Structure 1
């Protein structure tokens, strides 16, 4: 079976098209997971809503605890890292991470940034050794072949690769870098644009994104089934 980690980070409650002022990213992530479960009903879905329950931000105590060898940590240090450990454990358990991440002022929501800061962990998701020849940092999750799906929304348009304001998009590039750093490099993206225009262009963008999500699910499920069959 595949374990899916479903993350939402929007500050908006509900889903667009269903709830007043609902979230586009919650709409896309829910659609993705529902279609996945319809095709693979026996898979496990883990739910993490950092939009409504954000992880604590990194502090000086957190950094001190994270860079202290586990055997030398005090009870207070372990408590400081407790939420981070829970988030890392979820990530390690997941084969597929589906994250709804809207653009807020050209970057990800603060809640999602707190999540990233908590899962990029020395000794757990990346290695560090000053004495290591060459690069002292290395990803720890590469051998597990995890996949990341980023489902976004943007008020303006043209933020995609090659778009008119692609250089102003610091959401997907940031997340690709952070997750790639810990060894998750199989990344797929779908986004809704034109939200602030609220016209036919938004309606077309939503429809196109939903079609893209459906096709992506079908493609990923087919790949998962093929790998499972080869391993059987």
Structure 2
């Protein structure tokens, strides 16, 4: 059975259309996961709200511990990596990673960057081949066909591919780089634009995004139904 990791990064705790000042990215992730489970109730979900419960930022202890061979780590090093280990375990277990994130000041929220920094881990999600200094990085999460679904909400318009403001959008490109670096290469994007504009512009964007969510669910479920998943050991 496919397993979903559902991540929300918005600072807004509510859902747009339901709560005052609710989050449009949470609206999309809620729609995606609820519709997925309505069609495949047997599939499991892990939920992590990093918008309300942010991951820790990296510090000296984390860096010293992560780059130490596991067999040589002291107890304090294991403790320094405990949060990261949990987040990495959640990611490794997922067949579909659903990330809902707002577009803040041309990029991702700090909480999402903190999550990325916690899960890009030498020895866990990427190996380093020191004998090949020209191209030393070996992604470890390409062992099976994981999918990432990036659901974003932007206040302005024209930040999508081909838009007049696309050159200022560093959110999707940064996420793509990080996810591909660790081996997740099947990445799907859906965005809402025009929150600051409101009115018909926003309403049309929301409607189109929801339609795309429904279509993507159909496509991914069809793919996963025809893709053998690894069996528990």
Q: Same fold (TM over 0.5)?
A: yes
Once the two structures are superposed, residues 123-149 of structure 1 have per-residue CA deviations (whole angstroms, 9 ceiling, x without a partner) of 100011222375111111112211000
1:1-232 map, 5 Å: 1-132=1-132, 134-228=134-228
Count of paired positions: 230
Cα deviation code 1:19-57 (max 9, x no counterpart): 000000000000000111011110010111110111100
Q: If the length of structure 2 is used for normalisation, what is the TM-score?
A: 0.96
Deviation for aligned residue 1:78: 0.7
> CA RMSD, aligned part only?
1.4
In the alignment, the residues of structure 1 paired with residue 116 and residue 227 of structure 2 have an alpha-carbon distance, to the nearest angstrom, of: 29
Give the direction of change, closer, same or farther, for the CA distance of 1:200–1:91 in structure 2 (3 Å limit).
Answer: same
SS in structure 1 at match of 2:189? strand
- Structure 1, unaligned runs of 5 or more: none
1:61 deviates by 1.4
CA shift at 1:228, angstroms? 4.7
What secondary structure sits across from 1:227 in the alignment? Answer: coil
Q: Distance in 2 between matches of 1:133 and 1:206?
A: 46
Q: Deviations over 1:174-216 (max 9, x none)?
A: 0000000000010000000001011110011011101111111
Following TM superposition, by how much is the alpha carbon of 1:227 offset from its aligned partner in structure 2, in angstroms?
A: 2.5
> How far apart are the structure 1 equivalents of 2:72 and 2:185?
33
